[in-house]
Structure 1
Amino acid sequence: MRPRSMAKTKGSPRRSRCKRNRRRNKRARRPSREAEPTPTGPTGVHHIPDHLLELVLLRVGTPLALLRAASTCKRWCRLIFTDDATSPDHRFRRSLRAARVPGHYHVDGNNHVFVPDPLAADGFDRRQFSLDFLPAVPHGSLPWELADSRGGLLLFYRRDLVYYRMGRVWGGDTEYLHFPDMLVCDPLNRRCQGILYWEEMWPYQCLGLFLLDGAAADEPAAGGSSIAMSNFRVVAVTYESDVFEDDRGAPRACVFSSGSDGGWSMVESASGGDVPIPESRSISFAGRARSSFFWRMEHEGAVLALDDATIQFSLVTFPCTVVGMPEESSAFRVIGGDDDAVRVVRVMANNDLTVFRQLDSSGEWVVEKLVRLPEATSGLPEREETYFHGPAKIVATTTRHVLVTPQEETWIFSIDLETLEVDQAHERNRYAGAAYPFELPWPPALRADNRRRCSRMDLTV
């Protein structure tokens, strides 16, 4: 039996544990010096912690309102526009992308109609996107035609009526586009800049005109796209016939750079050799994705691609299960997305609209979406039983929608690639031409209001 005096010894383990517990409890009750003190006066939105403020912002009603919220102050902008993909703030990106693309310009014959996105329809006045400020075309020229869009700029071209008619005679059903005069415009600020054709390129046929950012690919502007009226590039993709073979040729890229030191220049091939392609009438633009432009070539086992960073051409082979056999005339389109993946939309022989996606990890192509067009359109107004006996045709594509019509008659409907819902009543289905996205400039034009404590700023569009 242990003596009683040993339990009361100054250095006993039991007494030491008791003292340590008392000191630990006292420290727990003492407020931390590093903790932010509770305000003694009135509190406001600035006292809400980041993780709670994020939950509030996630409940903002529309993408447009979220974009305006990002312009309130630096803290809100940081929460919404974080570059960390692993951060929970990454959830904002899809909504902000929708807010920055309020709609598309649809081609309708000689007219160009701005069709707003449903999510942004209540936040914009259509008159802001009017093109009534475009300059009148000279006598003997056709109206301005929309060629491309990039950011908040649009690229137009016009054709000479005489050469247009000569091209129709020489090419039959194919409309040869020779190097035209061009126009870059900013609809929001109602500004234009004309670009004259380059005389050296006049004899060649044009396969496409495209707008690119003015800054170099390795020097991106802070905050997003660097394109502006003072800083843009135009790429004209032309076709040069082979002097030894009538039905073969090679692509050429001519680049116009804005600014006092800009102008036209020919981009030479880095490999020193030409990329062989068939005659121009068998080539059609297929779309863009992951900073590349693609052209489909009939009866060829490869697709022509142009890298918009290096301005170099190459031949890319897609699996025949994705784009069809070379001898087939099946149409397909290449589209991108918010995840930067490459996708191919194709209408199969049995009228299955199929979306293929290339996996980044393995490069394998997989079926991502599938819509059986005859069944999906059953019950829609003016739907005829004679439709879809032949493969349907793709009218236009965006990153979100595909416009399709039966081969038998022009009866356009759209398919939402996220929900796979078929819509025949939307305004965009009234236009059988191409659709070009219009993106609001970022950073937006901000107007400071010094009367607010938080230096709140309003987005002006």
Structure 2
Amino acid sequence: MRARWMATKGSPRRSRCNYTRRRKKRASPSTPSGPTGVHHLPDHLLELVLLRVGTPVALLRAASTCKRWRRLIFTDDEAFLARLRRSLGAARVPGHYHVDDGNNGHVFVPDTDSSALDRRHFSLDFLPAVPRGSLPWELADSRGGLLLFHRRDAVYHRMGSVWEGDPEYLHFPDMVVCDPLNRRCQGILYWEAMWSYRCLGLFLLDGAAADDAPAGGGSSIGMSNFRVVAVIYESDVFEDDRGAPRACVFSSGGDGGWRQESTAGGDVPVPEYASISFAGRARSSLFWRMEHEGAVLALDEAAIQFSLVTLPCTVVGTPEESSAFRVIGGDDDGAARVVRVTANNDLTVFRQLQSSGEWVVEKLLRLQQATCGLPGRKETYFERPAKLVATTRRHVLVTPEEETWIFSVDLERLEVDRAHERNRYAGAAYPFELPWPPAGSVAG
């Protein structure tokens, strides 16, 4: 055993202790001599940190920290981009375009956590000029980062006729789709075959995959692949107070023009045009409320098919009540929700269970008590059921029936607010979704 550790003739003498120390020195990782910080994190751990950033605005600020962070955030790795979009979720909606009945027309109102956005990026001053004597562009819908506008009197102006119809009746109009961040727009001329029909609504739909569609997930919609569906009302030739809905769908062509994609209808009887009003969107379906009817009109966006959906009276009220309600999209669970103000002024959110289809009360707020102490609140308010002004997934704008006194309700926290800017606008609100990665910075 002793001879095993003796040096061989002609070879250098080797110490076992020195050999062990050298092995340990090579195996130990390299550590900074000074204090460590976030910049010492490896890329795969830093990516996990970035995935927990709450808003796109915060990510844009993080990208300006250093070249390394910018490289990771604006990566070409589609797998990481998909995870980033999922982590942002609803936070990609920094605010809503509100319809202003005053002189401003349409106003972009950031949400509370997006107050640092530079509003100049959301300006609509690039919309095409309207002919002299025509009504201005009206916002009809939004989807992803696109907005859809129409001109209510375009057909009559083109035909040289004097406007004599009811301004609440919308006939098949001229339209324009715009991308505010990139200041691009594309006009859509009205379809001559449909000019005489009254319109129940104009909506943006996702299109097929395109070069500018986001990679790795998210809304498949862009200026080169969007679709528009115009829902029109066709009167019954035998009954003056009955009719049927029709859907005219158009898609952007590869040459930048438009073509008719399909029409759909079917024998779905509906009451007179004036008694139908749009109620909201959820689960890739559009919904209309019909006064004194025991069902709701629905249009499946994917199949372009109409149907009548019966909802419980406890959710939408009885046909005799003609109560107002709104359908809103669900949260991450995808459940459909209905917001309604009951006769005793309870703002109630109903949620449909996916497992059984049953409707349950998810949230309830007693408006009369919740608004006590708010500036401008009068004792005469809420003697009649309040009215829903506008709804989003997060907020509901409400006003008493007695007087326009708009306040908003946060549906997550069930809190009322009179101070937010959104309460100044009595028109509808349309969400605007930031693309990711963005084409340019939108932060201030």
TM (norm. structure 2) is 0.82
Q: What residue number does 2:192 align with?
A: 199
2 CA distance for matches of 1:59 and 1:222?
18
Q: Is the 8 A contact 1:254 1:264 kept in 2?
A: no
2 CA distance for matches of 1:103 and 1:282?
31
Structure 1 residue 66 displacement after superposition: 3.7
1 CA distance for matches of 2:381 and 2:442?
47
Q: Is the 8 A contact 1:105 1:437 kept in 2?
A: yes
Q: What residue number does 2:303 align with?
A: 310
Residue by residue over 1:365-391, the C-alpha shift from the partner in whole angstroms, topping out at 9 and shown as x without a partner, is 110110000000001001000000000
Instruction: Identify the match of residue 276 of structure 2 among 280, 283, 289.
Output: 283
The aligned runs of 1:50-69 (5 Å cut-off) are 53=46, 56-57=49-50, 60=53, 64-66=57-59
Structure 1 residue 203 displacement after superposition: 1.0
2 CA distance for matches of 1:189 and 1:460?
15
Q: What residue number does 1:38 align with?
A: 29
Match for 1:352: what amino acid? D
Secondary structure at the residue paired with 1:445? coil
Q: What residue number does 2:91 align with?
A: 99
**Alignment of 1:297 onto 2:290:** yes
2 CA distance for matches of 1:430 and 1:436?
15
Structure 1 residue 38 displacement after superposition: 2.7
Q: What residue number does 1:160 align with?
A: 153
Structure 1 residue 221 displacement after superposition: 5.6
Instruction: Identify the match of residue 244 of structure 2 among 250, 256, 266.
Output: 250
Q: What residue number does 1:385 align with?
A: 379
2 CA distance for matches of 1:324 and 1:244?
30
Secondary structure at the residue paired with 1:334? strand
**Alignment of 1:226 onto 2:217:** no
Q: What residue number does 1:411 align with?
A: 405
Cα distance 1:236–1:338, how it changes in 2: closer, same or farther (>3 A)?
same
**Alignment of 1:118 onto 2:109:** no
1 CA distance for matches of 2:239 and 2:222?
42
Q: Is the 8 A contact 2:395 2:410 kept in 1?
A: yes
**Alignment of 1:337 onto 2:314:** no
Secondary structure at the residue paired with 1:166? coil
When the two chains are superposed, the root-mean-square deviation of aligned CA atoms in Å is 3.1
**Alignment of 1:320 onto 2:313:** yes
Secondary structure at the residue paired with 2:314? helix
1 CA distance for matches of 2:261 and 2:164?
27
Structure 1 residue 72 displacement after superposition: 3.8
Cα distance 1:138–1:434, how it changes in 2: closer, same or farther (>3 A)?
same
Q: Is the 8 A contact 2:410 2:416 kept in 1?
A: yes
2 CA distance for matches of 1:344 and 1:205?
27
1 CA distance for matches of 2:28 and 2:258?
61
Structure 1 residue 288 displacement after superposition: 0.3
Residue by residue over 1:53-104, the C-alpha shift from the partner in whole angstroms, topping out at 9 and shown as x without a partner, is 4774477475521466588445897897665xxxxx99x73xx234311111
Cα distance 1:164–1:415, how it changes in 2: closer, same or farther (>3 A)?
farther
Q: Is the 8 A contact 1:345 1:356 kept in 2?
A: yes
Q: Is the 8 A contact 2:248 2:260 kept in 1?
A: yes
Q: Is the 8 A contact 1:394 1:404 kept in 2?
A: yes
Cα distance 1:59–1:226, how it changes in 2: closer, same or farther (>3 A)?
closer
2 CA distance for matches of 1:266 and 1:259?
10
Q: Is the 8 A contact 1:198 1:264 kept in 2?
A: no
2 CA distance for matches of 1:264 and 1:302?
33
Q: Is the 8 A contact 1:401 1:414 kept in 2?
A: yes
Cα distance 1:312–1:387, how it changes in 2: closer, same or farther (>3 A)?
same
* Structure 1, gaps ≥5 residues long: 1-29, 84-88, 169-173, 447-457
Instruction: Identify the match of residue 138 of structure 2 among 134, 145, 151.
Output: 145
Q: Kindly, what percent of the aligned residue pairs are identical?
A: 77
TM (norm. structure 1) is 0.79
**Alignment of 1:361 onto 2:355:** yes
Structure 1 residue 444 displacement after superposition: 2.5
**Alignment of 1:181 onto 2:179:** no
* Structure 2, gaps ≥5 residues long: 1-22, 64-68
Q: Is the 8 A contact 2:250 2:261 kept in 1?
A: no
Match for 1:412: what amino acid? I
Structure 1 residue 267 displacement after superposition: 3.1
